[in-house]
Structure 1
C-alpha cells in the first residue's frame, strides 16, 4: 500500500474470500501511513470449504463500509482442483445434458488418490432428478445426465470431486435451464460450450459481421436506400450478421421502422444482434443520471423484445456498451440481462469490451451476460500491421 498524498492517514485494509456457494470470510487490518509512505500487508484466510471462489482486496475508511478502492484478486481459479461446465447454455428437446469437468491435478496424483467425480441434478426443492459418476484418470471427463423427463425450469447440477476415502476435494454448482421449444417463427439460439460456437436452430453458427446502421428516424426514402446499400455491401463482403448500432429509440425510431430495417437485413441473408436502446447523454457511465436513465431504458424494452423474439433475423442482443471494471453497476447490468431473459429467453446477451477482458469481468459469464468478447477498432491490412496491433490484444 502506498500513500500518494502529502498527509498522514489511516485506512482499513480488507481482504475477502468469497466462494461461489456458501458463506465467505473477511479479515481486516488497520494501517497507518505517513506522507508518501509505502507498506506491505499480507493476509492469510482459512477457506471454509473447497470450490471455485473469488477474492477481493480493498481499502475502507476506518469504521466504515465505504470502499475507497477495491481490487479483484487474479488467479483464484488455480486454487480449485476442479472446474466444470454444461455443454449447453439451456436445453429444450435434448434427451441428455453433458457435464464436462476439467481436472487441475496431475494424472499420477489423481490415480494415486483414486479420484472420482460424482454429479447429481436436483430440482428447485432439492429433489433428485438424475445422477452419474466416473473415475478421473483423464484431464477432462464427461458425464451424461438423462433430462428427457426433467420438467422445464431452473435446476442445479452439482459436480463433486472425491478421493477413494470419500473425502470431498472440490465442488462446482451449475445452473441447468430447461425450456419448452421456441415458439413458431422464433430463432432458438444456444451456446455450445464444448465446441465454442452458437447453435442456431440446432446448427453451428459463427457470427462474422460488423457494427452498422447509423441513422435514426423513419425507415423511408434515402435512409432505406442507405441501409439497403450497407446490408448489400456486408453480404458481398462475406459477412453473415450485423450489430444494430442505432438501437431502439421509441421517441425517434418507431418500432415498425426498426422491424422494417431487420426485415431488410433478413432479405440480404444477414442475422442481427439487436440493441434494445439508443445512445443518449444520460446513458453514459459518467453521467450522474445514468442509473435512472438505464432503469427507464430497461423498462421501455418490452415492445422491442416481443418483436425480436419472433423475428427471423434476430439472434442475440447487445448489452450496454463496453462496461469497464470498477464502475459498480453490476446491479444495472444484471437488470438488463434479466429483462432480456424473461421476454426473449431464446436469444443470448452479448457484452463487448475494448481490447481485453479484465479478470474481474470473467465473473459475468452466465449472470450479467451470456457472451463476453473483446474487439478492436482497427482493420489490419498487412503482416507488419498485425504485429504492431498485437499489443492491444490479450
Structure 2
C-alpha cells in the first residue's frame, strides 16, 4: 500500500520482464508472472526482484513470495518466515544477572554459520603427465576424482558434469579436467589470442591460492581450442609461464594444466593447506550453465568460497621462496639500456641467485643476466645491464627468470606484458605541465617545469622556456630563462605569464636545458589550447589533479543512477548532500526531451550532472558514434553538465562487439572535438600502472575504476588503497584526476552493503590516496543508517575541498 491513492509501482523480475500497477492506501496483494526464455527451471538462475517507486511518498511492502508456476498461489509463510513460537513457560523467580560471555555478545554480529567448503587432495607423482589432452597417464589413474559440480548460486547439480584430477611433483601442480557434454558438436570456441575473451565461450577456470585465507589468488583458464587466460585476482595483465593442452573425447572435452611453483610468488606466508576452485562455463545457448566444484554465489571470483587443497608440503616448497621485481628500465644516452630489480632470498639458507631478463617484441629478443649472493632473508637492488637500443614505441614485454645457481633449479618467473610503467621514460629528465587542461579568460598562465637528475646532466646549466602559437615560425608570447646553479635530484619550477591578450588557438610550451656553455642537453614540449570562454566550462587543474567548475576547485561527491527518468530519485539524492549525480542516458533508448528534463532538474536542484552514455552493442560503431556525438553537441552548453562518461567497463564487452581499442580512441577524440570544454572519460574494473585498462591512458581525461570488495575480500580497505595508489601514480605523471566508484550496494554479486563506518573509511581512503572524484554505486542502499549518514559525509568532503 501507499500513502497516496493511485501510486504507480513497477514490479521487476530481473531480465525476465516487468510491469506497472496502481497501488492504493489499503493493503492489497499484487501478482506478476514472468516467463523464462530458457528451458532450465528457475533454480538454475539468480533473479533480481525489485519494486520501483518513483514518486514522493511512502510505499509499504509485506509478504513477498517468489515461486515457479504459471499462476501465483495464495501467500503461505515458509518455516524461515514464520518460526514456531513455543508456549511461554511460567515466569521463574528472578536471579542475579550474570555477565554475558564474550561469545554470546559476539554471536549477534557473526550471523549464521558459513556453509563448509569441499576438500581436495593432490598426490605426489614420480611420473608427470604428458601434456596432450589425453587423460590416460598413470598419475591420473592414481589421483582422486573431484566431481559433483554445482550450478553457481544454486544448490542444484549441473546437468553437464565436470571431473577434476590433481597431482604434483617437485616443480609443478598438475590438473586434469574432463568436461562432459551431451552435445560436444555445439561447443563454442573461437577466441585464439592469449588473454582474449574466452569467458564468452566454453571454458574451464582454475582459481588457486597458496594462502589458507585466500587473501590473494591466481586464475588459470582455457577454452576447447587451448587458448589460455591468466590473471592475479582481477589483474588480467598478470602473466605466468604455465602450460595447458586440450583434447576431445566422444562426449567431453579435456584439458591438462601444468602450473609451475616458480610462477606463484611463494614465500614464508604460505601454508600446507591451499585454496582451490574449478569453475566451468558451458556456452550452449539451449542450455547454458555456470557450474563450480565449490559452490559460489553469483560469480566465480569469491575466494572465501574456494575449497581446500591438501597434500602440498610447505617445507618442500621452500626452494621457491624468492621475491624478484623489476623496479625500472633505464634507457641511456648511448642507446643501451639496463634494468634495476629488487631481489630477496626468503628461504631458510644462504644462496646465489642468477636473474635473467629477456625483452621481447622488438626486432629480436634481448637477454641480460646478473648474479648475487644473499643470506637468509637477505635482499638487495641488483643492476642488470647489457641490453641494446630499445624501441619504446613498440609493445615490448619483459620475461623474468631467477635460477638457484647451486641446484640449477628455476625458482621464480614472471612475464610483464606492458613495460611502459617500468621505463624511466615516465620520470623524464625534463617535463612540462600546464596548470590547466585549457585556458579561456584567465589573466595568468602557469607552467610547471621539472628537472629530474640523470647521470649525464651537467652539474649546473640554464633552463630556457618559451610559449608560442603552435603554428610554425610564430614569435613566442612568453619567454623565461632560469640559471640552474646545482642540478639536484628533483627540481620543480613554476613559470607565470600574462595570458589575457593571447588569442584563441593551440599553443606549444617548450623548454631546453643547456650547459653553461650553451650546448643543449635535454628538450621538452607540450601542447595546450586557449578556447573561447563559456559559462559552464569545466577544466582540470593538472597540478592538483582535480576538476575546476565555475572557476573553483570541485570534488564531485556523486551518486550513480541506473535510469535518468527517476526524477524523484534526483531529488532524494540532492536532499542527502550529493553535489553531483551520474544517471544513465540510453542512446537510442530515450528521447531528447527526457534527457533534457533530467539535466534541467539537476540544474534546479543545484547538482552537477555527469552524462553517462549507454548504448547497446547491436548497431555498427559508426551509428553508435553518431548518436553519442549528436547528444554531446545538443547538451554541451547545458549549465548542469560536469563531464561525459563515454563508456563503462569496455574490457568486458567492447572487443568483438563494437570494435577494438582504436575505436575507443576514435570515440574519445570525436567527443572532445564536439565539446572541448568538458572532460570525457571511460570507466574500468581493473588498473595496471603505465597502461590503465582497455583503450589505454590517452583515450580519457580522468582515470576511473570501480571496485566493490566489501563482503568479498577480507582486506577490503587495503584493496582500495592499493588500487588508488596505482591510479594516482599514473595521474601524477600525466596530470589527470583519479575517480573511484565506491560500493554502496549488496545484491546480485556482493554479499552485503558496507556499514556506515566502512563507507566513511573507504571515502577517506579515496581522498588520502589521491582520488578527487567520488562516485557511489548505486542509488539507493537498503541500509537506512547508511543513507542517513550521507549529508554529514558530503559536508566533510565540501569542507576539505579547498585544502585538497
Tell me the TM-score normalized by structure 1.
0.70
Partner of 1:169: 521
For the structure 1 residues 301 and 374, does the alpha-carbon distance in structure 2 shift closer, same or farther, using more than 3 Å as the test?
A: closer
Q: What is the CA–CA distance in structure 2 between the aligned matches of 1:319 and 1:331, rounded to whole Å?
A: 14
SS in 1 for 2:635: helix
Deviations 1:108-132 (A, max 9, x none): 9978322424334243234122222
Residues 347 and 116 of structure 1, relative CA distance in 2, 3 Å threshold: same
Question: Match of 2:632, SS?
Answer: helix
Root-mean-square deviation (CA, aligned residues, Å) is 3.8
Aligned residue among 417, 422, 427 for 1:75: 422
2:590 aligned residue: 253
Q: 1:54-86 CA deviation, whole Å, 9 max, x = no partner?
A: 553169xxxxxxxxx963432223563122210
C-alpha deviation, 1:272, in angstroms: 0.7
In 2: Cα distance, 1:361 partner to 1:392 partner: 11
> What is the Cα deviation at residue 387 of structure 1?
4.0
Match for 2:672 among 324, 333, 341?
341
- Aligned residue for 1:239? 578
Q: Is the 8 A contact 1:132 1:145 kept in 2?
A: no
Matched, 1:227 2:567: yes
The equivalent of 2:494 in structure 1 is 142
Query: How far apart are 1:203 and its partner, in Å?
Result: 1.5
1:75–1:254 CA distance, 2 compared to 1 (3 A): same
Residue in 2 aligned with 1:128? 475
Classify 1:199/1:79 alpha carbon distance in 2 versus 1 (closer, same or farther; 3 Å). closer
Q: Are residues 162 and 374 of structure 1, via their aligned partners in 2, closer, same or farther at CA, if it must alter by over 3 Å?
A: farther
**Following the alignment from structure 1 to structure 2, what is the Cα–Cα distance between the partners of residues 390 and 135?**
40
- Aligned equivalent of 1:44: 388
Inter-partner Cα distance in structure 2 for 1:389 and 1:122? 42
1:295 aligned onto 2:622? yes
What are structure 1's unaligned runs of at least 5 residues?
A: 7-16, 19-25, 32-39, 48-52, 60-68, 220-225, 283-291
Equivalent residue number for residue 37 of structure 1: none
More helix by share: 1
Q: 1 or 2 for the larger relative contact order (CA 8 Å, sep ≥6)?
A: 1
The match for 1:29 is 364
Q: Is the 8 A contact 1:119 1:160 kept in 2?
A: no
Deviation by residue 1:186-238 (Cα, 9 ceiling, x = unmatched): 411111112322111212211111221436xxx5xxxxxx431x223322332
Q: What is the alpha-carbon distance in structure 1 between the residues aligned to residue 670 and residue 393 of structure 2? A: 26
The answer to whether the Cα contact below 8 Å between 1:134 and 1:143 also exists between their aligned partners in 2 is no
SS of aligned partner of 1:300: helix
1:172-183 paired onto structure 2 within 5 Å: 172-182=524-534
- Local SS of the residue matching 1:339: helix
User: Is the 1:87–1:100 contact (alpha carbons within 8 Å) kept by the matching residues of 2?
Assistant: yes
Gaps of 5+ in 2: 1-239, 246-329, 332-360, 367-383, 399-415, 726-804
Match of 2:442 in 1: 94
Structure 2 partner of 1:264? 601
SS at match of 1:187: coil
Secondary structure of 1:301's match?
A: helix
Match of 1:318 in 2: 645
Q: Distance in 1 between matches of 2:504 and 2:649?
A: 33
Aligned pair count reads 326
| TM-aligned CA distance change 1:323 to 1:133, over 3 Å | farther
Could you say which residue in structure 1 is the equivalent of 2:45? none
Alpha-carbon deviations, 1:248-292, whole Å to 9, x = none?
Answer: 423x200111111121222222111113x423144xxxxxxxxx7
Inter-partner Cα distance in structure 1 for 2:512 and 2:649:
36
CA displacement, residues 83-116 of structure 1 (integer Å, 9 cap, x when unaligned): 221011111112332110122118x997832242
- Cα deviation, residue 4, structure 1: 4.4
* Cα distance change on mapping 1:294 and 1:321 into 2, 3 Å: farther
**Distance in structure 2 (CA, Å) of the matches to 1:171 and 1:307:** 42
Matched, 1:207 2:559: no
Match of 1:371 among 689, 697, 702: 702
In 1, the alpha carbon distance for the partners of 2:241 and 2:437 equals 44
Corresponding residue number in structure 2 for 1:306? 633
In the superposition, the TM-score normalised over structure 2's length comes to 0.36
In the TM superposition, residue 321 of structure 1 has moved relative to its aligned partner by 1.6
Counterpart CA distance in 2 for 1:79 and 1:203 is 30
Query: Does structure 2 conserve the Cα–Cα contact (< 8 Å) formed by 1:152 and 1:179?
Result: yes
User: Equivalents in 1 of 2:548, 2:495: separation in Å?
Assistant: 21
Q: Which moved more, 1:328-337 or 1:152-161?
A: 328-337
Tell me, yes or no, if the aligned pair for 1:80 and 1:170 is still in contact at 8 Å: no
Aligned equivalents of 2:716, 2:500: Cα separation in 1? 52
- Structure 2 counterpart SS, 1:342: helix
> In structure 1, what is the equivalent of residue 408 of structure 2?
none
Q: Does 1:360 align with 2:691?
A: yes
**Following TM superposition, by how much is the alpha carbon of 1:348 offset from its aligned partner in structure 2, in angstroms?**
0.9
